[in-house]
Amino acid sequence: MAEKDILLKVCNLKMHFPVEKTMFGKVTSWVKAVDDVSFEVERGKTFGLVGESGCGKTTTGKCVLRINKPTEGQIYYKGKDISNATAAELKEIRREIQLIFQDPYGSLDPRQSAGSIIREAIVTGPHDEKDVSGRVKELLETVELLPEMAERYPHEMSGGQRQRLGIARALACNPELIVCDEPVSALDVSIQAQVINLFSSLQERLGLTYVFIAHDLAVVRHIADVIGVMYLGHIVEIMDAGEIYTNPVHPYTKALLSAVPITDYYVEKQRQRILLEGEVPSPINAPSGCPFHPRCAYATDICRRENPKLADVGGGHRVACHLCAKDSV
């Protein structure tokens, strides 16, 4: 992949939060929410980031947006390192990198109408009110809402309509990259499909690039081009979306897939569930070596001593597992 095709590049990203301090202010304990994460997002494509709750997906997205300043690592946007960008630089960057929230109601001002919410994102200086009104109407139609919805308030809308409003607000800034933080998890299943189709349509029409954060593998499979699987602050596997069901390699990815519901009764009856023992370790006291080894049925001594790096197992499919080449995994 040519370097010019990479819109976002994250290198060795770490985000550690202090938990305990001595009376002299020295930090004695950290939450390692994100620990050495690296990935690339091609322009006009979707990178899906999946994993169970608490694995660091949202924190990674906040670091990309520079809501959180990374503890270590670099974030390159259009080839420029923004991990240490100034407030003035971030003001410009954040118009090009937008966020769509998980909770559409909580992210909208209940005292503002839909039109006012979108207008606020459009207006940044001298402007013609007719142009702004036309742009508000255009954005509502773009996300498949009626222009009359501009007069409604968030509490007068359904969950799906509120999320469409959130998408319209993000599009008002003419972004190139949108971080979608579980944007359909709070919606009914039928509405989820409509919103996912809307995301795909907008990407095709506007050339958008997405970082799509979710815990539902079935949802991510439908929209993502490349999928990264996170566990306890680490990316343990990166693969093309088409491979996640046909060629998963990491034991954790296989366990996640075994929990995805299947509508075909006979297929569901024949498949074998993978039940992981124990609980997810605390990021305050993460295990040494591979973060997954306390729950892995294939763990050996090297897994307990050394944290594996992402290694290519063919065709750009990368896995962080010492035993990935063995048939037993």
pLDDT, residue 268, reads 59
Do 16 and 30 touch, CB atoms closer than 8 A? Answer: yes
Which amino acid is located at 225 in the chain?
D
Do 319 and 311 touch, CB atoms closer than 8 A? Answer: yes
Sign of CA dihedral 119, 122, 127, 131: negative
Sign of CA dihedral 262, 265, 269, 270: negative
Write out pLDDT tens, residues 233-281: 999 999 999 898 888 999 999 988 887 766 665 565 666 777 787 788 8
Write out pLDDT tens, residues 43-59: 999 999 999 888 999 99
| Letter string b/e over residues 250-276, b meaning 16 or more CB atoms within 10 A of that residue's CB | bbbbebbbeeeeeeeeeeeeeeeeeeb
To the nearest 10 degrees (0 to 180), the angle between helices 129-142 and 114-122 is: 120
Of 51, 48, 62, 81, the closest CA to residue 17 belongs to: 62
Write out pLDDT tens, residues 4-37: 689 999 999 999 998 888 777 787 788 999 999 9
**57 CB-contact burial (10 Å; exposed 0-12 / middle 13-18 / buried 19+):** buried
Helix or strand or coil: residue 254?
helix
Domains, the chain, ordered by start: 3-319 (3.40.50.300)
User: Does residue 327 carry a pLDDT above 80?
Assistant: no
